Structure 1
Amino acid sequence: MRRRIKTIVLSLLTTLTLSLGLMSCSSDINDYANTNPQFALDEYFNGELTAHGMVQDRSGKVLRRFTVAMVGTWQGNKGTLEEDFIYDDGERQRRVWHIEKTADGHYTGTAGDVVVPAKGQTQGFALNWRYTLAVPVDGKVWNINFNDWMYQLDDKRVLNRAEMTKFGFKVGEVTLWIERKS
């Protein structure tokens, strides 16, 4: 009986320690409120852009590399971002985002393979954007949750890091370097 109680207590302490560790690693969009430049999604993603990126598994191993040609257009508070991906294995993929700017730096977005619409907010030079994407994996489609962070470094460059999770567990990460053409 004592051994069982010790095991339960040890398990609870381990869970609590891991939970606190994960919470302390989480960023909050408000951490960036007083930073510059002010990231206006509708201004940065307006025109032609190019991106270079990679997909890593949960251990950090690079699985794929890719480039993306992007074109963003905006009319008022509604925008379209067309993304044409070319992967290192020759696969091509197209995603068209429909984005709406709402109040106080908040944005929503949908695309054909976005299962749960994106909701995001900007503060200072950062954007945090969360959504669920249908991702083909070995002949099946998985709904993967994305916690997407974009950081506008200057008027031409944005660094994008997205953590991918399934059932609350990290399954991978995407890193992207985005540059405006003009």
Structure 2
Amino acid sequence: MTILNYAKVTFAAICALLLVSCSAPNVEHYNNTSPEFDFKTFFSGNLKAYGVVQDYKGELTRKLVVDMHASWEGNQGVIEEDFIYDDGETQKRIWKVTLNDDKSLTGTADDVLGTAKGKSDGSVFHWNYDVELPYDGSTLTVNFDDWMYLVTQTRLINRTSIVKFGIEVGEVTLVIEKI
């Protein structure tokens, strides 16, 4: 093997190793964790969330509070979210969700492009969806990669990576509590 071929193989191996080390676990990784996350049970009734938004450098850009109300008819749910940001901006999102027998969930909302798809296992719920965010008098399409970790039966932590062109451009962290 020539030095050039050896360098190519080594470079490819290092790139593959970096890609594998940066990949997130799938939700099944959390199969045996507790408490067991039941989406319908947790997102039922009134909830309140407190959170922060950070930019790609990790710098705090906003704080927010979210009042939520969730109701169900069978496996069809509606989650109303009223966002209040520290600069006075308000936003409303109404999720229409369907809970499937295999613990997967689909959801739609006015600012969500297409359908959000997610699944829970153990104490964790993960879903992914594209959102149109207001930006500079227009809108910007980004991907939200949500990971929800049930800490107690009445409290969870939600970490959302905001991704554009495959690069994380921001992060939202919420503590959501049943009230």
Compute the TM-score of the two structures, normalised by the length of structure 2.
0.91
Q: What per-residue deviation string (whole Å, max 9, x for no partner) do you get for residues 76-95 of structure 1? A: 00000000000000000000
Secondary structure of the 2:29 match is helix
Task: Give the match for residue 95 of structure 1.
Answer: 93
Q: How far apart are residue 16 of structure 1 and its match? A: 3.2
CA distance in 2, matches of 1:146, 1:29: 16
CA distance in 1, matches of 2:132, 2:7: 39
CA distance in 2, matches of 1:6, 1:31: 36
Secondary structure of the 1:153 match is strand
Task: Give the match for residue 16 of structure 1.
Answer: 16
Q: How far apart are residue 53 of structure 1 and its match? A: 0.6
CA distance in 2, matches of 1:134, 1:10: 41
CA distance in 2, matches of 1:87, 1:10: 48
Q: How far apart are residue 140 of structure 1 and its match? A: 2.3
CA distance in 2, matches of 1:172, 1:87: 16
Q: What per-residue deviation string (whole Å, max 9, x for no partner) do you get for residues 49-82 of structure 1? A: 1000111111111111100000000010000000
Query: 119, 140, 143: which is aligned to 1:142?
Result: 140
Computed over aligned residues only, the root mean square deviation of the Cα atoms, in angstroms, reads: 2.0
CA distance in 1, matches of 2:80, 2:71: 9
* Structure 1: gaps spanning 5 or more residues: none
The number of residue pairs the alignment matches comes to 178
CA distance in 2, matches of 1:134, 1:9: 41
Paired letter, 1:16: A
CA distance in 2, matches of 1:6, 1:91: 56
Q: How far apart are residue 27 of structure 1 and its match? A: 1.9
Query: 13, 26, 41: which is aligned to 2:39?
Result: 41
* Residues 121-160 of structure 1 mapped to structure 2, 5 A cutoff: 121-160=119-158
Paired letter, 1:126: V
Q: What per-residue deviation string (whole Å, max 9, x for no partner) do you get for residues 101-128 of structure 1? A: 0121110000000013110001011000
Q: How far apart are residue 146 of structure 1 and its match? A: 1.1
* Residues 1-182 of structure 1 mapped to structure 2, 5 A cutoff: 12=12, 15-23=15-23, 26-181=24-179
Residues 8 and 140 from structure 1, CA distance in 2 versus in 1: closer, same or farther, beyond 3 angstroms? farther
* Structure 2: gaps spanning 5 or more residues: none
Residues 143 and 6 from structure 1, CA distance in 2 versus in 1: closer, same or farther, beyond 3 angstroms? farther
CA distance in 2, matches of 1:91, 1:8: 52
